[in-house]
């Protein structure tokens, strides 16, 4: 015997969306008895499976990857041919030197965990614990990236050496470490 779908009382708020009852598996209905699947059929003018959904987010992500790849390839060719791509301020004051170290594996594991579980965690956590979770993940990510250079060079030297600090490298400030 299947349970009757719960009837959601009609209200006049700005948002009147149907919800799914996870305990019974039934779709909650609008005040006029329309369930979510029925509403989708009415809005789309047919069944839910008539067409595949257009994923705008995937198109935008693909365009971003294409833009980044194009900029990297074209920029590298211009720099190799003419040597004119140079900006004298951080964070662009750098050379391309990919390398690995003790923080590489933790950074890759954390990146995979965020990609795999991040959307689920973002949907299920209330916003305050979510903010703290994101903060914790960002601290772990920053620490793992710093540890790619090792503890001494990646963390200790950068924190304790007055010549390695970012404001000193700009040359445009009178800041000095305490």
pLDDT greater than 70 at residue 56 = yes
pLDDT band, very low/low/confident/very high, at 26 (cuts 50, 70, 90): low
pLDDT at site 160: 77
Q: Look at the chain and report how many structural domains it folds into.
A: 3
In this predicted structure, the answer to whether residue 82 has a pLDDT above a threshold of 70 is yes
Q: Is residue 112 part of a domain?
A: yes
Q: What is the CA radius of gyration of the chain?
A: 26
What's residue 85's pLDDT? Answer: 76
Query: Same structural domain for residues 129 and 177?
Result: yes
Residue 37 covered by a domain: yes
Name the burial class of residue 165, with classes exposed (0-12), middle (13-18) and buried (19+) by CB atoms within 10 angstroms of its CB: middle
pTM of the model as a whole: 0.48
Percent over 90 (pLDDT), the chain = 34
HSE (side-chain half, CA atoms, 13 Å) at 17: 4
Q: Are residues 61 and 129 in the same domain?
A: no
Question: What is the C-alpha separation between 117 and 112, in angstroms, rounded?
Answer: 8
How many whole angstroms separate alpha carbon 148 and alpha carbon 100? 6
Of all residues in the chain, what percent are helix, strand and coil, respectively (each to 5)?
50, 5, 45
Query: In the prediction, which pLDDT does 15 show?
Result: 44
Cβ 27 vs Cβ 36: under 8 Å: yes
- The answer to whether residue 29 scores a pLDDT higher than 70 is no
pLDDT digits over 89-113, tens only? Answer: 555 556 667 889 999 999 999 999 9
Q: What does the pLDDT look like over 123-150, one tens digit per residue?
A: 999 999 999 999 999 999 999 999 999 9
Residue 175 and residue 143 in one domain? yes
Of 13 and 82, the one with more pLDDT: 82
Q: In terms of domains, do 141 and 107 share one?
A: yes
Query: Does residue 92 belong to any structural domain of this protein?
Result: no
Ranking 13-22, 53-62, 142-151, 164-173 by mean pLDDT, the lowest is 13-22
Half-sphere exposure at residue 72, Cβ-oriented, CA atoms within 13 angstroms: 7
91 falls within a domain: no
Together in a domain, 158 and 101 = yes
d(Cα 29, Cα 4) in Å, to the nearest integer?
A: 11
Whether 49 has a pLDDT exceeding 60, the answer reads no
SS3 90: coil
In a domain, 41, yes or no: yes
Q: Is the same domain home to 144 and 167?
A: yes
The answer to whether residues 31 and 47 belong to one domain is yes
58 in the same domain as 46? no
Choose from 17-21, 34-38, 41-45, 163-167 the range with maximum mean pLDDT: 34-38
Q: Is residue 25 part of a domain?
A: yes
- Measured over all CA atoms, what is the biggest interatomic distance in the chain, rounded to whole angstroms? 77
Q: Are residues 109 and 171 in the same domain?
A: yes
Q: Which domain holds residue 61?
A: 54-86
pLDDT, average across residues 13-41: 58
- Residues 63 and 136 placed together within one structural domain of the fold: no
Q: Does residue 105 share a domain with residue 43?
A: no
Are 109 and 177 in the same domain? yes
């Amino acid at each position: 015997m299947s349970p009757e779908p719960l009837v959601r009382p009609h209200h006049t708020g700005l948002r009147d969306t149907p919800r799914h009852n996870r305990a019974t598996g039934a779709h909650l209905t609008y005040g006029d008895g329309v369930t979510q699947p029925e509403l989708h059929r009415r809005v789309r003018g047919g069944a839910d499976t008539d067409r595949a959904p257009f994923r705008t987010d995937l198109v935008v992500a693909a365009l971003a990857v294409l833009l980044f790849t194009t900029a990297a390839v074209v920029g590298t060719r211009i720099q190799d041919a003419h040597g004119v791509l140079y900006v004298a301020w951080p964070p662009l004051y750098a050379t391309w030197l990919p390398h690995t170290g003790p923080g590489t594996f933790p950074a890759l594991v954390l990146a995979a965990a965020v990609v795999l579980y991040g959307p689920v965690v973002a949907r299920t956590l209330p916003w305050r614990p979510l903010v703290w979770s994101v903060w914790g993940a960002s601290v772990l990510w920053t620490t793992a990236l710093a540890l790619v250079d090792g503890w001494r060079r990646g963390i200790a030297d950068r924190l304790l050496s007055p010549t390695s600090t970012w404001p000193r490298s700009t040359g445009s400030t009178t800041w000095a470490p305490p």
